[in-house]
Structure 1
Amino acid sequence: MISMPDTRKVETATAPTAGTANDRATAKRAAIWTISIVGIAAGAVTGILTEPPTLWGLMPMLVFLALTLLGTNILLAVVVTATATALVLMPAPAQWGDIAISAVANPVTLLGVVTLFGGAVGEVLTRTDVARVIVSQIMRLTDAARPRRSIFAIMLACSLVVASLGSFTGSLAIAAPLVIPIAASLGYTRSATAAMMFLGGGAGLALAPFAGANIAIMTSTGVGYLDYLLIGALPLVAISLVTGLVAVPRIQRKTSGGPDDYSAEDYPTAAVEPPTRRANIATIVFLALLTTAITASIVSGAGLTVPLIALPVFAVVTALVGGLSGRDTARTIARGMWRLRGMMATFLLLSLVFVLFDLLQPFQVIIDAFGPRLVQFGPFGFSISVALLGWVGIPGATAAQVLLIDQVFGSLAQTAAVTTPMWILVLLFGSKADTYGPLPNPNMMGAMGLARSSNMRSILLTGWSVLAPSTIAYFGLVFLFSL
């Protein structure tokens, strides 16, 4: 007689785990609601008892920090922060018209518009197969006899598509149907493929000329794309790609020959069709437009003006050349922009917060009291402190991180004699370092999910392999620029 397995022990073991997870989720929701309510109430009380300039203007920013540390949705956190900031200031009804106009005209709002246009371009590149053409051309560089060449080609393909579209997981999702079959045919495991996609995507995100976070860095520091690239982005790009050439073979050795290998069911190669002639032509047109726009941005130093003009042109011209009708072009552009409506609302509310924050003038109080001490603290020490705080203490959308760091610490940085190159490095490190660790994050999970990997330890170690040398390199550059 065949005896049935005893499942009571399993049930007993898993029940507390599920209960603990539910308890944690409940406690987290309670903490979010408590902080939100207390923050708004404190804003109302503070608004009654104080007048600007006041140090209490920092209170809403502390509420924002607490909410984001708890993993609150970025839009909800900004709504609570905007409400608390408005209550602290308590402007007269007649002032709200000027405040609203200032918020709409704020560069932060324009960054939101750029983000919408970027979503439109990404949707067009997907619909016309341009993104797939870019990936497929790069993947021709792979060679089974030269593993590091193949690793570099896969990372480069992921990097270019992310740089073109300006997003991480969404761009990798477009590259994945081409990257994964080739990686699998070359014998790479899921963990190794996830590492290549993650590192290539991270490099592309640093390179992306019209990504919201990168434009925010250029706008905050008043530099063009070339200066941003040479001072800020290229070290991270180089470290990411070099790390891949070293780390991926090690991951491959440790994970091959087991359940981490791909099977034929994981990648239906027959479903990957070659790009059409029209898609190839549209790709050439898109790359020509992109090159022209980047050149114009470098030469003119026009900042936000170039992407505001260039991105809609990219979308319309590429769609029409790619074979979409006028109606389909409009629908595709609208669909891409609609998907980022929440991000646009976040930027608009952030601009409102910053306008109100300027009226509260909390940092004027700090500068008046501690300005001389900040100068004595030195530009290097101040820069490192802000960079570390941005890395571990201000999570969220990277563009919002850049704007928040610059808004909160920008005027203090001037007092501490921080130079423009140093501030570029601070903003880039403070906003992008958390992509690589120390904790798991959505970008890591996105690369793992697309590669069908469940090896969190491997992707974490990969991120740390970039984070450690990047920290040394960026802090070293900050020190050199402080001399």
Structure 2
Amino acid sequence: MQTTPLLTGQRPGDIRRLARPVNLIAAASVVVSLIVGLRVEPSTLWGFLPIALYGILAALGMRILVATSVAVLSAALLLLPGPQVVVEIARESAVDQVTIIGVVILLGGGLAEILRASGAATRIVSAAIRVAGTSNTTSVAAGIMLTCLLLVAALGTLAGALAVAVPVLLPVAARAGLTRSATASAIFIGGCAGFAIAPFAGGNIAIMQAADTGYLGYLLHGGGPLAVLSIVVGMIVVPWMQRRTVGGDDHYSPDELGAIETDSPAVDDRRAGRAAVAFAVTLLAVLVVATITTAGIALPLIALPLLAVVTAAGAGMSPKTFAINAYRGAAKLAWLFVLFYLLALLFNAIARLNPFTVVLGSYGSEIRGLTPFLFAMTVALIGWVGVPGASAAQVVLLDKIFGELASIAGIGAGVWVVVLLFASKADTYGPLPNVNMLGVMGLCRSANVRNILITGWCVLLPAVAMYTLFIYLGTR
């Protein structure tokens, strides 16, 4: 079965045909940047060129690391800094908040691998399923959503957490008679709900930084309502999806109906239980601290290594094994750290080009006259349909471009949380297939793109209505 064209919407030939014009756009932009850099002094509106180039190249399919590198090169050619300025930009970028988000992502990857290797992740999954029960398809679906929510929220990574949870959840879903499409819907909705409230997810941390608010403020204004809405919608959509597909050829095969398998002896199972308890208790303490303090980005830098050490200690993991697993988990996400350091270089170079001052000087009075509601909705829609990339990178990019303008327009912290959350996460739910949807389908061995799209739309439509209302009320 040829699934690649169906799932991606592009055949390999289409991708090859796109590569040449995309490369030509990149090369032409680099040449233009050099010419402008030789002739124009900062401050200049040409400073927006690297940002526009970044978005266009990524939207046209260039790999995000390559697109970001080209944008950094464009900014460097526009600025043409001397050796001393180059060193200053590199030093500033190394300690920039954007780079620190990359460090947080590395630490989260290490923690996720410790949870997997210690068995704590599997115990969390099993406990959540036991709480929800397995008496009927509705309770199993609720348990699957709850499990995915908890694990993704704890690990702060959607794909990584689901990769741990789904192998354990599939036999449970199969025994209960859930179809592949219904299982994929439950896992997708639960995982995305957990990602919305994950305190250590890079995108959520970026939103808190941009809006200058703590975890509790983020939870109240943005992540919490989306998570609640997702689960409420899921309790309607997943049973409906089950009824829609139960009469067709969408069931798991008999060899997938066995009990949850484990190859760990009893002593390892006890260690996994201790690791899970140690992790849960420490995480609860960290969340309490996060809600009553304004530690900001310093909190995950301390909390994530602490959680990893406590979990490993609970499992009786040796220091050598701990180091190997933590390194393995972080290494998988090293490309994201590089991405965020490149973004820090890009934004620091653009700050020296200073295009924002030109905009404010030329159009400041018009911006002050904009309706705050219209401005906020415009930024949210730009992020949804026009700014590609990892969610944290989207947040940082939008805040760099529009943050100062939002202050002029009178956008408060709570509304800015909503705007950035919608801008960075709405495309997860639609309107087109995306990596998160396709990843869930792959894990669940489902091939029906239409059903996962319907699931996403069922969350997206009420979410758009809810956040539009929030923005309207917050900008009155």
TM-score range, shorter chain: over 0.9
Given that residues 106 and 337 in structure 2 are in contact (C-alpha distance below 8 angstroms), is that contact kept between their aligned partners in structure 1?
yes
Q: Specify the alignment match of 2:453 in structure 1.
A: 460
Measured after TM superposition, the shift of residue 77 of structure 1 is 1.2
Q: Specify the alignment match of 1:211 in structure 2.
A: 201
Change (3 A) 1:195 1:426: same
1:160 aligns with 2:153: no
> How far apart, CA to CA, are the structure 2 residues paired with 1:114 and 1:410?
23
Measured after TM superposition, the shift of residue 228 of structure 1 is 0.3
The 5 A counterparts of 1:391-430 are 391-430=384-423
> How far apart, CA to CA, are the structure 2 residues paired with 1:301 and 1:151?
36
Given that residues 121 and 151 in structure 2 are in contact (C-alpha distance below 8 angstroms), is that contact kept between their aligned partners in structure 1?
yes
Q: Specify the alignment match of 1:131 in structure 2.
A: 121
Q: Specify the alignment match of 1:226 in structure 2.
A: 216
Given that residues 184 and 441 in structure 2 are in contact (C-alpha distance below 8 angstroms), is that contact kept between their aligned partners in structure 1?
yes
Measured after TM superposition, the shift of residue 103 of structure 1 is 0.7
Measured after TM superposition, the shift of residue 150 of structure 1 is 2.7
- Work out which of the residue numbers 452, 455, 474 in structure 1 matches 2:467: 474
Measured after TM superposition, the shift of residue 159 of structure 1 is 0.7
> How far apart, CA to CA, are the structure 1 residues paired with 2:260 and 2:439?
24
Could you list the runs of 5+ residues in structure 1 that have no partner in the other structure? 1-19
SS at match of 1:377: coil
> How far apart, CA to CA, are the structure 2 residues paired with 1:216 and 1:142?
33
1:352 aligns with 2:345: yes
**Paired amino acid for 1:186:** A
- Work out which of the residue numbers 41, 62, 80 in structure 1 matches 2:70: 80
Measured after TM superposition, the shift of residue 418 of structure 1 is 1.1
> How far apart, CA to CA, are the structure 1 residues paired with 2:408 and 2:367?
7
Change (3 A) 1:22 1:121: closer
1:30 aligns with 2:23: no
SS at match of 2:237: helix
Given that residues 168 and 260 in structure 2 are in contact (C-alpha distance below 8 angstroms), is that contact kept between their aligned partners in structure 1?
no
Q: Specify the alignment match of 1:389 in structure 2.
A: 382
**Paired amino acid for 2:375:** F
**Paired amino acid for 1:149:** S
Q: TM-score, normalised by structure 2?
A: 0.95
Given that residues 402 and 427 in structure 1 are in contact (C-alpha distance below 8 angstroms), is that contact kept between their aligned partners in structure 2?
yes
Given that residues 158 and 195 in structure 2 are in contact (C-alpha distance below 8 angstroms), is that contact kept between their aligned partners in structure 1?
yes
> How far apart, CA to CA, are the structure 2 residues paired with 1:269 and 1:39?
57
Please, which moves more after superposition, 443-452 or 270-279? 270-279
Larger Rg: 1
Q: Specify the alignment match of 1:449 in structure 2.
A: 442
Given that residues 178 and 272 in structure 1 are in contact (C-alpha distance below 8 angstroms), is that contact kept between their aligned partners in structure 2?
no
Measured after TM superposition, the shift of residue 257 of structure 1 is 2.9
Measured after TM superposition, the shift of residue 146 of structure 1 is 4.8
SS at match of 2:317: coil
Given that residues 378 and 417 in structure 1 are in contact (C-alpha distance below 8 angstroms), is that contact kept between their aligned partners in structure 2?
no
Given that residues 175 and 257 in structure 2 are in contact (C-alpha distance below 8 angstroms), is that contact kept between their aligned partners in structure 1?
no
> How far apart, CA to CA, are the structure 2 residues paired with 1:204 and 1:22?
34
Deviations 1:67-106 (A, max 9, x none): 1111322111111111111111111222112111111111
Q: Specify the alignment match of 2:322 in structure 1.
A: 329
Given that residues 175 and 258 in structure 2 are in contact (C-alpha distance below 8 angstroms), is that contact kept between their aligned partners in structure 1?
no
Identity %: 42
The 5 A counterparts of 1:73-472 are 73-269=63-259, 271-272=261-262, 276-472=269-465
Change (3 A) 1:393 1:256: same
**Paired amino acid for 1:411:** E
> How far apart, CA to CA, are the structure 1 residues paired with 2:273 and 2:397?
41
C-alpha root-mean-square deviation of aligned residues, in Å? 1.4
> How far apart, CA to CA, are the structure 1 residues paired with 2:424 and 2:441?
22
> How far apart, CA to CA, are the structure 2 residues paired with 1:323 and 1:469?
46
SS at match of 1:141: helix
1:43 aligns with 2:33: yes
Measured after TM superposition, the shift of residue 268 of structure 1 is 4.5
Deviations 1:57-76 (A, max 9, x none): 11111111111111322111
> How far apart, CA to CA, are the structure 1 residues paired with 2:210 and 2:133?
43
> How far apart, CA to CA, are the structure 1 residues paired with 2:72 and 2:446?
39
> How far apart, CA to CA, are the structure 1 residues paired with 2:218 and 2:181?
32
Change (3 A) 1:353 1:286: same
SS at match of 1:276: helix
**Paired amino acid for 2:456:** G
SS at match of 1:271: coil
Change (3 A) 1:102 1:252: same
Given that residues 179 and 246 in structure 2 are in contact (C-alpha distance below 8 angstroms), is that contact kept between their aligned partners in structure 1?
yes
Measured after TM superposition, the shift of residue 141 of structure 1 is 3.1
Measured after TM superposition, the shift of residue 401 of structure 1 is 0.5
Could you list the runs of 5+ residues in structure 2 that have no partner in the other structure? 1-9
> How far apart, CA to CA, are the structure 1 residues paired with 2:205 and 2:243?
39
Please, which moves more after superposition, 134-143 or 232-241? 134-143
Given that residues 177 and 272 in structure 1 are in contact (C-alpha distance below 8 angstroms), is that contact kept between their aligned partners in structure 2?
no
Q: TM-score, normalised by structure 1?
A: 0.93
> How far apart, CA to CA, are the structure 2 residues paired with 1:156 and 1:37?
48
Q: Specify the alignment match of 1:15 in structure 2.
A: none
Deviations 1:91-144 (A, max 9, x none): 122211211111111111111111110000000000001111111001013445
SS at match of 2:369: helix
Measured after TM superposition, the shift of residue 149 of structure 1 is 3.0
Measured after TM superposition, the shift of residue 388 of structure 1 is 0.2
Measured after TM superposition, the shift of residue 151 of structure 1 is 2.0
Measured after TM superposition, the shift of residue 36 of structure 1 is 1.5
> How far apart, CA to CA, are the structure 1 residues paired with 2:260 and 2:455?
31
Deviations 1:408-444 (A, max 9, x none): 1111111111111111101100000000001101110
